[in-house]
Amino acid sequence: MANKRNTFLLIWVITAVGCLYGFLKYASPKIFQMLMAKDHPMPTPSTLMMWYMIMGVLAGLVYATTSNQKFIDFLSFLLPGHGPFIKSFLQKILFVGFPLLVGWFVYTWAIPGAASPVELRIQHPTLPQDFEKLENPFRQADADTQRKCIEEGKILFQTYCRPCHGSKADGNGPFANSFRLRPINFQDPGTIATVVDNYLFWRIKEGGPGLPSESTPWDSAMPSWKDDLKDDDVWKIIMGEYDTAGVMPRQREKLE
Amino acid sequence: MFRTYRREVPQKLAETPEAVVAGKKVYEKRCWYCHGIEGKGDGPAAVTMFPKPRNFTRNEYKVRSTAFGSVPTDEDLFRIITSGIEGTAMPFWSTISETERWQVLYYVKTFNEQFKKDAPPKVIPVGSVPSTPESIQRGQELFKEMKCYECHGEDGRGNGPLTVALQTEWNLPYRARDLSKGWNFKGGNTIEDIYRTISTGFNETPMGSYLEKLSDEDRWHVAHYVKSLAKDMASDVVVKVKLFEGEELPSEPLDENWSNASAVEIPLAGQILVSPRHWAPTIDAIQVRALYNSNEIAFLLEWDDATNRQEEIFRDAVSLQFPTKIPESLKKPYFAMGDSSGSVNLWSWKAYWQEGFGAVVEAPENEQGVVSELNAKGFKNVTVQPPESQNVTGKGIYQKGRWKAVLKRTLNTEDVKGDIQFEIGKLIPVAFAVWDGSNSDVNGQKSVSSWYYVSLEKPVPKTVFVYVLIALIMGASVEMWFIARLRRFPPKLEEQQE
């Protein structure tokens, strides 16, 4: 016959699903806050949460049906029987709890809420044609000139870009927290290391307002520098920026 | 921002000439842009900063564990390089190796002779005393007795009468910290950090050491009081606007009904989008509350400002920005003053200016020039609405280092083209700008925010409860059917059935 522990299988499955919910809702935001080094918790997105919960419930059911014996134990919990007091107590809780849970679901769906909207955007739009043909005039220069350009670029970077992108080009400048679209972290291997330096020239010259609409130009705090910086200075900034971030621009594919 | 306020310092690297040479390399790769090639705090990037970078040739080290006027210990310097300084441009350098950090600090020490001449500085120990309500109470009394308010202000908002008058040798103001902004404490905002600052003071600033003026116990009391003032920024993306039950929406900034509205704090940055850019703004946050009724909507905007001193064109001011039309899609006007394809509606409140400007501003109601409604399609395309379209009313007050301004308008107006028309239940983009007259803020010289949202909350409709009731009944019936069926056909193992 079933051993005693198994007769509470239903409760264990419910507890496990409850623990999963608690983990996703409360523990995971804290863990990701620590892992991603953020100053705020990282809440689990609600759709992701829904899928995890569905998977959790299914996993519980799969476990409960791995053998006939288990399945019987699983369902038998709901049958009246002469178990310990705790069993009939938990039965009552389940009996009242299930309709309440359904009611709560309906309530949270039906009340008018003001969740912040999903604001999807394309981070790396395509480089416009006009900028594709440009060449950094200093890339072919001799080593001394290049070193000088990098140094000049770094000075300009520290003056004009540092307030948002930070002294280390890590997107942690003093203003970084104040813009909802955070300044880009150039040390991140997924950012400037994946593009050719023309791309940066385009971004610096045109800034947020020059983005296509799928990249939400209205939210970007990247200024357009075309009226304030000369082309040569922009190229120097790009060289200084790569140097500060410690990454290299993507090399162009050579066409044979 | 992620900072590691690590108290423990790893094994020291030997202070050898080689280490200093290696440190020079690090310094000239990473530090000199702000601190200057000769360590004088005059690097090329220093112009865009306030507070200014440290001048290493003088002993103006602020965050130390040593007595006032002494040089810091190597460990102090290591901690600062590792953790950076909150509320300043000094970043955390935990990203470079420990060896490099030791090397660069040995090089930095060579800028100042005092490190060599002085005997090794003595560390003032920091213990730990738990906070109690009595201790906070006593601390508040000592805050008065020791005249901390003369710089930090009565409520600790950095608005004391002296802080306005004190100037550094470069004619820059000495700004006492706003103790209510927990995110701006130099050297950290833990109770131990605050105790250390009170004990050691900040070299070459009016923030002296209280080591001898106050007993150890009393310094803990003051630290606990200061800690109780420090708040985190309670930010959110959506400003939820509650339906106000009373007859008329509050129009006074001090109306007690504002406590019913939920407050959201929004971080601000300098306006760096178009020239002339504002690199060193003084206002870094604004708190927003709003209420609406069937007819009107009212906003209460609050921000800390050390002084309401201002000159004729440089005025303390605030402005709310909405798109002229609630966007149907994701597309919005440009967050800074709109653009040619999307115009914005601005509600601006300016402190009333007159000679003999007092401590409390009471702007006359409906005074032209105090509250105005504008439209903009970009920085260069700003128009003030004609008098017949000016529908916003407002009132501001300055109290204990904080401006509070109310802006109020009907939900809908006749000027459908130029004015935002509020709709209940929709997410309406909103952005903020604040000017500090004493910081020579005017026009584009201001603190700005990104787009946020206001949402006029729908009252919960009665039908919801009907749905819930139906759900409860259905849930219960399904459950009973299931259990009844289970009882009739109890599950059995196949062999048992045989």
Cross-strand bridge partners of residue B454: B239, B428
> Can you tell me which residue has the tokens 């149907």?
B328
* Closest CA relative to residue B370, chosen from B315, B323, B299: B315
Is A114 in Cβ contact with B457 (below 8 Å)?
A: yes
Domain span including residue A151: 129-245
Q: What is the pLDDT of residue B354?
A: 61
The whole-angstrom distance between B434's CA and the closest CA on chain A is: 14
**Cβ-nearest to B493 among A68, A116, A175:** A68
Is B284 in Cβ contact with A178 (below 8 Å)?
A: yes
Q: What is the pLDDT of residue B247?
A: 84
Percentage of chain A beyond pLDDT 70 is 93
Q: What is the pLDDT of residue B268?
A: 96
User: Quick one: pLDDT band at residue A110, thresholds 50, 70, 90?
Assistant: confident
Tokens read off for A154: 């770094």
A237 and A139 fall within a common domain: yes
> Can you tell me which residue has the tokens 């000094």?
B90
Query: In B159-291, where does DSSP find H-type helix?
Result: 161-165, 191-200, 216-229
Is A180 in Cβ contact with B452 (below 8 Å)?
A: yes
Does A201 fall in a domain? yes
pLDDT at A5 over 50: no
Which chain A residues are within 8 Å of B188, Cβ to Cβ?
none
A86 and A163 fall within a common domain: no
In chain B, which residues have pLDDT < 70? 1-6, 169-170, 310-312, 353-369, 493-498
Three-state DSSP class for residue B169: coil
The 10 Å Cβ neighbour count of residue A70 is 15
The whole-angstrom distance between A255's CA and the closest CA on chain B is: 37
A25 and A105 fall within a common domain: yes
A93 and A135 fall within a common domain: no
Q: What is the pLDDT of residue B314?
A: 78
**Cβ-nearest to B238 among A38, A114, A154:** A114
CA distance B311 to B263: 31
Does A81 fall in a domain? yes
Phi, psi values for residue A99, rounded to 5°: -60, -35
SS3 content of chain A, % helix, strand, coil (to 5): 60, 0, 40
A89 and A150 fall within a common domain: no
CA distance A170 to A176: 10
The one-letter amino acid at A97? G
Boundary of a domain, candidates A110, A139, A154:
A110
Tokens read off for A104: 């709560």
A135 and A170 fall within a common domain: yes
Does A255 fall in a domain? no
Is A163 in Cβ contact with B48 (below 8 Å)?
A: yes
pLDDT at A47 over 90: no
A182 and A150 fall within a common domain: yes
A41 and A13 fall within a common domain: yes
Is the CB of residue B380 less than 8 Å away from at least one CB of chain A? no
- For chain A, the domain total comes to 2
A94 and A149 fall within a common domain: no
Boundary of a domain, candidates A62, A80, A110:
A110
User: Quick one: pLDDT band at residue A116, thresholds 50, 70, 90?
Assistant: low
**Cβ-nearest to B272 among A69, A72, A175:** A175
Residue of A nearest to B451 (CA): A219
List the single best residue of A121, A178, A214 to mutate versus B (max B Cβ within 10 A): A178
Q: What is the pLDDT of residue B452?
A: 95
pLDDT in tens, B342-395: 999 999 998 876 655 443 344 443 444 478 999 999 999 999 999 999 999 988
Cβ within 8 Å of A, B 262-291? 267-270, 272-275, 277, 279, 284
Is B2 in Cβ contact with A39 (below 8 Å)?
A: yes
Is A218 in Cβ contact with B342 (below 8 Å)?
A: yes
Cβ within 8 Å of B, A 141-200? 154-155, 158-160, 162-164, 166-168, 170, 172-181
Tokens read off for A27: 């523990």
- Sequence-distant (6+) residues with CB within 8 A of A230 are none
Is B45 in Cβ contact with A159 (below 8 Å)?
A: yes
A148 and A60 fall within a common domain: no
DSSP code, position B308 = -
The whole-angstrom distance between A256's CA and the closest CA on chain B is: 39
Q: What is the pLDDT of residue B361?
A: 45
The whole-angstrom distance between A250's CA and the closest CA on chain B is: 24
Does A36 fall in a domain? yes
Does A119 fall in a domain? no
A101 and A14 fall within a common domain: yes
Which chain A residues are within 8 Å of B494, Cβ to Cβ?
68
Does A85 fall in a domain? yes
Tokens read off for B437: 């007259």
Across A68-72, A95-99, B33-37, B335-339, least confident range: A68-72
The per-residue pLDDT of chain A, averaged, comes to: 87
A16 and A106 fall within a common domain: yes
Does A204 fall in a domain? yes
CB neighbour burial string for B172-193, b if at least 16 within 10 angstroms, e if fewer? ebbbbbbbbbebbbbbbbbbeb
**Cβ-nearest to B472 among A69, A99, A178:** A99
Is the CB of residue B491 less than 8 Å away from at least one CB of chain A? yes
Is B450 in Cβ contact with A180 (below 8 Å)?
A: yes
CA distance B497 to B490: 11
Q: What is the pLDDT of residue B360?
A: 37
Kindly provide the ipTM of the predicted complex, given to two decimals.
0.88
Residue of B nearest to A35 (CA): B2
**Cβ-nearest to A114 among B45, B240, B475:** B240
Is the CB of residue B484 less than 8 Å away from at least one CB of chain A? no
Is A218 in Cβ contact with B279 (below 8 Å)?
A: no
The per-residue pLDDT of chain B, averaged, comes to: 88
User: Quick one: pLDDT band at residue A67, thresholds 50, 70, 90?
Assistant: confident
Does A118 fall in a domain? no
Q: What is the pLDDT of residue B368?
A: 42
CA distance B381 to B159: 36
Q: What is the CATH number of the domain that holds A238?
A: 1.10.760
Q: What is the pLDDT of residue A113?
A: 67
